[in-house]
Structure 1
Amino acid sequence: MPRLILMRHAKSGWDDPRLDDIDRPLNARGQRNAVTMGAWLKTKGYIPDQVLLSSSIRTRETLDRVTRGLGLCPNTTVLDALYLASEHRILSALKKATGDCVLLIAHNPGIGEFAADFASHPPLHPDFLRYPTAATAVFDLKADNWEQARFGENEVIDFATPRELEAET
């Protein structure tokens, strides 16, 4: 059964107003939060073998720090189509995945809408529908392959945010 790890990029900086949105980097909190989420994935045994990544600087930096926490760097495909993508564009990109466990990192509002609609039953977690920065949901696909992925059919097996994980330590 394919598994999806769906992550919103970590907190980005707004220090340089001259930068285009796609070029905004992570701020210090975002850098720390991304490492936290990578360590959480490793601790839980959610180890991706493929990454689908938006082409923005903040998603690339998020992945860089997540892989520090994971201790590995999976096969990565950077997709311009995931930059500020709608939920339907995210699903279209996901249908082309080839890994058994795929980490997809993108942006709100599309990623939050995708998570809510992809789940058969959204978790009762208070942040799931808001999908804050670096929020991460883990889904087990109710299909044999990515091409058959559909909205409303997939089990959320875990969800976490860096704020709650860092509060536990």
Structure 2
Amino acid sequence: MRTLVVVRHSKAEQSGTPDFERHLAERGHGDAADAGRWLATQGIGPDAALVSSSVRTVETWTDIAEAAGWDLEADFDRGLYSAGPETALDLVRLTPPETTTLVVVGHNPTMASLAQMLDDGEGDPEVAGRMNEDGFPTSAVAVFAFDGEWADLDMGTATLVAFHVGRG
């Protein structure tokens, strides 16, 4: 069984810097840390992380990993910054077969669409209801179980097992 964690970056500053270079707002750092603590309580310990190389996603990853107690070097991918859900899924499919738990940190609407399209509807209806009702706001975390090879991950092939929105 494999675990895929889909994360939307935390709240970013709304300043005049180019979008790719926006930093997390103070609230965003706290929310990312809250998400990391929650992931640790869920027993999530990733083997790999795929993170958009924008400033706010790198900072989100750093805060999550620190709060969760993970010592893992992420793969920072510029392509994930502008990827649509199909391209993001293609990047996930490239995950080495020995990886059992992968964290992906990216942007909306891609992360929300990816989470929706992966869900096979077999998970806890309450968890799915929360994800659908809450949407996929900043610091949203969806945890999926998948029984298969990463290369075979496709629409409707993963079970949503947990959902959380970090608010620190």
**One fold, TM greater than 0.5?**
yes
User: Any unmatched runs of 5+ in structure 2?
Assistant: none
CA–CA distance in structure 2, aligned partners of residues 24 and 75 of structure 1? 22
Question: Contact 1:53 / 1:82 at 8 angstroms: preserved in 2?
Answer: yes
Q: Stretches of 4+ moved more than 3 A in 1?
A: 126-129
- Report the 3-state secondary structure (helix = DSSP H, G, I; strand = E; otherwise coil) of the residue aligned with 1:124: helix
Matches within 5 A, 1:1-169: 1-15=1-15, 17=16, 19-98=17-96, 99-121=99-121, 123-125=128-130, 130-143=135-148, 145-163=149-167, 166=168
User: Any unmatched runs of 5+ in structure 1?
Assistant: none
Could you tell me which amino acid in structure 2 is paired with residue 130 of structure 1?
Answer: G
CA–CA distance in structure 1, aligned partners of residues 45 and 166 of structure 2? 18
Instruction: Report the aligned-residue RMSD.
Output: 1.5
Could you tell me which amino acid in structure 2 is paired with residue 161 of structure 1?
Answer: V
CA–CA distance in structure 2, aligned partners of residues 129 and 116 of structure 1? 12
Could you tell me which amino acid in structure 2 is paired with residue 41 of structure 1?
Answer: L
Q: 1:36 to 1:80 in 2, by over 3 A?
A: same
| Superposition deviation, residue 127 in structure 1 | 5.0
CA–CA distance in structure 2, aligned partners of residues 150 and 75 of structure 1? 26
CA–CA distance in structure 1, aligned partners of residues 131 and 117 of structure 2? 16
Question: Contact 1:84 / 1:108 at 8 angstroms: preserved in 2?
Answer: no
CA–CA distance in structure 2, aligned partners of residues 128 and 3 of structure 1? 23
| Superposition deviation, residue 126 in structure 1 | 5.2
Could you tell me which amino acid in structure 1 is paired with residue 163 of structure 2?
Answer: F
CA–CA distance in structure 1, aligned partners of residues 32 and 134 of structure 2? 20
- Report the 3-state secondary structure (helix = DSSP H, G, I; strand = E; otherwise coil) of the residue aligned with 1:75: coil
Q: Deviations over 1:124-155 (max 9, x none)?
A: 11556620001000001132x10011111210
- Report the 3-state secondary structure (helix = DSSP H, G, I; strand = E; otherwise coil) of the residue aligned with 1:125: helix
Q: Deviations over 1:94-142 (max 9, x none)?
A: 0011221000000000110111011011701155662000100000113
CA–CA distance in structure 2, aligned partners of residues 129 and 84 of structure 1? 23
Aligned length: 161
Q: 1:80 to 1:32 in 2, by over 3 A?
A: same
Q: TM-score, normalised by structure 2?
A: 0.91
